């Protein structure tokens, strides 16, 4: 056997992940049948983000924040490839995900060396309306409704409106009933 072919056989045997079936790009028959992409949230305070769709793949990250919004970008059987607000991707078992809609308030404004900015939640869907509460960038808000411009949200005991463009967890122009 020529040395180059022999090296390729050895490399293939040493990298079993390269030989695994690759998941489909969309939900297809092995997925949920729900639209992809879509937003979901974490059910638990401890969820492994794996490097592939299965428990035999290594854990690349552990999420420790129930309610954290994630975007499903691909499905394979009971596994969902997700993306977080920072752009990290990996695979999560669908049983750790909820259809409950949440959003992060201005996560792109959080900087490690500075205090996060405050973002107003308004009484009505207008910047001129009374401010119910100011929340820090990075806070998780429960999405109640969105009309494409404003979302009615709840953060702790406070309910009000925030501009949809200030949220990661709702698509631009998306309506949520």
Specify the CATH number for 3-96; select among 1.10.260.40, 2.30.30.40, 2.40.50.140, 2.102.10.10.
2.30.30.40
Which of the four pLDDT bands, split at 50, 70 and 90, describes residue 157? Answer: very high
Q: For position 35, what pLDDT does the model report?
A: 95
Second-level CATH architecture of 104-176: Roll (2.30)
| Residue 89 clears pLDDT 60, i.e. is over it | yes
- Distance in Å from the first CA to the final CA of the chain: 65
Q: What pTM did the predictor assign?
A: 0.82
> Under a CB-based contact definition with an 8 Å cutoff, are residues 163 and 150 in contact?
yes
Distance CA 165, CA 87 (A): 17
DSSP state of 101: -
Which of the four pLDDT bands, split at 50, 70 and 90, describes residue 20? Answer: very low
pLDDT tens figures, 97-138 = 999 999 999 999 999 899 999 999 999 999 999 999 999 999
| Residue 148 clears pLDDT 60, i.e. is over it | yes
Which of the four pLDDT bands, split at 50, 70 and 90, describes residue 14? Answer: very low
Question: Which residues fall within 8 angstroms of residue 49, CB to CB, at 6 or more apart?
Answer: 59, 60, 61, 62, 63, 82, 88, 90, 91, 92
Which of the four pLDDT bands, split at 50, 70 and 90, describes residue 144? Answer: very high
Distance CA 155, CA 142 (A): 6
Q: How much is the average pLDDT of 156-160?
A: 97
Return the closest-CA partner of residue 68 out of 50, 55, 51, 49.
Answer: 49
> Under a CB-based contact definition with an 8 Å cutoff, are residues 152 and 171 in contact?
no
Domain boundary assignment for the chain: 3-96, 104-176
């Amino acid at each position: 056997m020529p040395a180059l072919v022999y090296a390729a056989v050895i490399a293939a045997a040493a990298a079993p992940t390269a030989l695994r079936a690759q998941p489909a790009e969309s939900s297809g028959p092995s997925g949920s049948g729900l639209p992809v992409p879509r937003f979901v949230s974490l059910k638990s305070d401890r969820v492994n983000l794996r490097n592939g769709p299965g428990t035999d793949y290594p854990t690349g990250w552990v999420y420790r924040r129930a309610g954290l919004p994630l975007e499903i970008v691909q499905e394979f059987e009971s596994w969902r490839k997700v993306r977080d607000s920072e752009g990290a991707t990996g695979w999560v078992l669908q049983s750790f995900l909820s259809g409950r809609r949440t959003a992060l308030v201005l996560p792109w404004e959080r900087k490690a060396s500075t205090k996060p900015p405050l973002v107003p939640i308004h009484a009505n869907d207008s910047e001129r309306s009374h401010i119910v509460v100011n929340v820090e960038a990075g806070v998780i808000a429960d999405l109640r409704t969105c009309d494409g411009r404003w979302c009615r949200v709840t953060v702790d005991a406070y309910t009000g409106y925030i501009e949809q463009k200030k949220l990661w967890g709702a698509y631009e122009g998306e309506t949520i009933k």
